[in-house]
């Protein structure tokens, strides 16, 4: 059984956001990303409500790396969230959507001069400075533009969250942030506090992603609050804000039991207050940067089943019309997903199949051993919890055009992203001058 009951209509079709999934597949084609607007809004509200209840000086800042389009920016802005961007491209997307710049947090471990100039001239709310080199560069650019900027220093507290190595970031041996260890954090804080152009608003840390164990946050807060107290003594400047990053896990399978945003916020609120009191410093305003837990479970990917290959006594493969190009997470992180046959959503699951993608890689398998009703070519498969880090990490491997994405809400559906065309695939291709002769003449010219 899938980890959650999906809604089913009288034809036995799965429903998402009040829309028949099989109809969506027919209307927009497959593969198709479907995003349930109301679930996104509910997740935003879960953070907002939790902050207003347990820590009113708290802001949820959506991490756009999970899924960013101009339409998604609109939803997040309407929900009163901040927005974490990590590149000029994400910043451009947010600005193009009219996202309020003062609610944008700009991250990145190697921001370019152009990216920093854009952030300064657009007046983004916080630049999260990742290292000393960036601090110096940002100060020089701010001086050049005659501006000042509000910054957070990204600190690596040295905490290991229990998650996949590639999505773990808070430990000492990391390309991100300034380590507390060896006094580097304090040196950066001193340097920032002296700056005439940069206002040191506070500190940031991010310990990892798909985290289920809240004690990882607790450990990070204990270290960060101790650092805040030391930095205040060293610089004379009290941190106004502590940004604890993102990372709350979601349900991909029945075994996943993540804490809720409410549980997370309540726990961090308690620990921050307790540690502030212990060190005799003012409790800072808090920020969290949830990405996956805002959009992950709100997304479903629809595929059409193509060929079904039965190898007697070994395995049955059912191939879909997408795979690692639209969802690289399985190949990259051994991520696990569950799925429902959308046009047979209320039929008993009597068969076990392995869902193969259509990329030219043996490793392109989306789901192993999925229980399904007897499958036929043309069935529509709905893979659940694909809202985060699927579209945003999709590629054109094998020159597959990237799928469309549709937003659904209360029976309405409309495009968030149009399907790429073959023409899009060659749009940026160029033929170097010396290859311009028609193909037949090349052999002669060379000979």
In the complex, the residues that contact ligand LLP under the rule CB under 6 A are: 63, 65-66, 84, 107, 167, 169, 206, 209-210, 245-248, 289-293, 329, 333, 389
Dist. CA 145–CA 415, nearest whole Å: 39
Judge whether 44 counts as a catalytic residue: no
- Residue 328 CB, nearest distance to ligand LLP (Å)? 8
Phi/psi region, residue 108 (left: phi>0; alpha: psi -120 to 50; beta: rest), is left
Compute CA 190 distance to the chain's CA centroid, rounded to the nearest angstrom: 32
**Rounded Cα gap, residues 75 and 95, in angstroms:** 14
Nearest in space to 70 (alpha carbons), one of 83, 59, 57, 56: 83
Annotated active-site residue in 19, 73, 205, 360: 360
Q: Which long-range contacts (CB under 8 A, 24 or more apart) does 73-82 make?
A: 73/97, 73/98, 73/99, 74/98, 75/37, 75/40, 75/41, 75/44, 76/44, 76/294, 77/103, 79/41, 79/44, 79/45, 79/48, 80/44, 80/48, 81/44, 81/47, 81/48, 82/125, 82/287
Angstrom CA distances, 405 to 6, 77, 240, 326, stand at 20, 19, 39, 11
Minimum Å gap between C-beta 315 and ligand LLP is 27
- Please give the span between the terminal C-alpha atoms of the chain, in angstroms, as a whole number: 65
CB of 337 to ligand LLP, least distance (A): 12
Judged by beta carbon, residue 195 or residue 293, the one nearer ligand LLP is 293
Task: State the nearest-atom distance from the C-beta of 120 to ligand LLP, in Å.
Answer: 20
Among residues 103 and 344, whose Cβ is nearest to ligand LLP? 103
Shortest separation between residue 331's beta carbon and ligand LLP, angstroms: 11
Return the number of the residue (45 or 190) whose C-beta is nearest ligand LLP: 45
Angle value at C-alpha 97, between 94 and 98, nearest 5 degrees: 90
Whichever of 169 and 385 has its CB closer to ligand LLP, that residue is 169
For ligand LLP, the closer CB: 43 or 229: 43
Positions annotated as catalytic residues are: 360
């Amino acid at each position: 059984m899938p980890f959650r009951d999906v809604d089913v209509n009288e034809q036995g079709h799965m429903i998402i956001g009040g829309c028949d999934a099989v109809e969506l597949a027919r209307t927009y084609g497959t593969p198709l990303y479907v995003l349930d607007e109301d679930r996104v809004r509910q997740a935003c509200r879960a953070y907002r409500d939790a902050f207003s209840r347990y820590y009113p000086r708290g802001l949820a800042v959506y991490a756009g790396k999970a899924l960013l389009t101009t339409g998604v920016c609109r939803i997040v802005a309407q929900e009163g969230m901040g927005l974490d961007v990590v590149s000029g491209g994400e910043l451009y997307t947010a600005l193009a959507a009219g996202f309020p710049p003062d609610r944008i947090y700009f991250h990145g471990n190697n921001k370019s001069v152009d990216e920093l100039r854009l952030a300064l001239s657009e007046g983004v709310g916080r630049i999260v400075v990742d290292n000393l080199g960036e601090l110096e560069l940002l100060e020089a650019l701010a001086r050049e533009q005659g501006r000042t900027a509000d910054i957070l220093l990204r600190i690596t507290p040295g905490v290991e969250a229990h998650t996949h190595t590639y999505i773990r970031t808070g430990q000492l041996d990391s390309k991100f942030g300034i380590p507390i260890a060896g006094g580097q954090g304090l040196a950066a804080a001193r340097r920032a506090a002296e700056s005439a152009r940069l206002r040191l608003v506070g500190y940031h840390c991010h310990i990892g992603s798909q985290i289920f164990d809240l004690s990882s946050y607790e450990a990070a807060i204990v270290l960060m609050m101790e650092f805040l107290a030391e930095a205040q003594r060293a610089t004379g400047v009290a941190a106004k804000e502590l940004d604890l990053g993102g990372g709350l896990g979601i349900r991909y399978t029945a075994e996943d039991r993540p804490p809720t945003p409410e549980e997370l916020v309540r726990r961090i609120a308690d620990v921050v207050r307790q540690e502030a009191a212990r060190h005799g410093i003012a409790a800072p305003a808090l920020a969290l940067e949830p990405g996956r837990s805002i959009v992950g479970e709100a997304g479903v990917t629809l595929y059409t089943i193509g060929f079904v290959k039965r190898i007697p006594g070994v395995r049955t493969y059912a191939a879909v019309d997408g795979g690692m190009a639209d969802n690289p997470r399985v190949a990259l992180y051994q991520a696990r997903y569950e799925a429902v046959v959308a046009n047979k959503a209320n039929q008993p699951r009597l068969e076990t199949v392995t869902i193969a993608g259509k990329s030219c890689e043996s490793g392109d398998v989306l789901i192993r051993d999925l229980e399904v009703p007897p499958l036929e070519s043309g069935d529509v498969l709905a893979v659940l919890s694909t809202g985060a880090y699927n579209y945003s990490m999709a590629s054109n491997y094998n020159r597959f055009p990237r799928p469309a994405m549709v937003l659904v809400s209360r029976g309405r559906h409309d495009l968030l992203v149009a399907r790429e065309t073959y023409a899009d695939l060659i749009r940026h291709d160029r033929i170097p001058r010396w290859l311009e002769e028609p193909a037949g003449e090349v052999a002669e010219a060379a000979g």
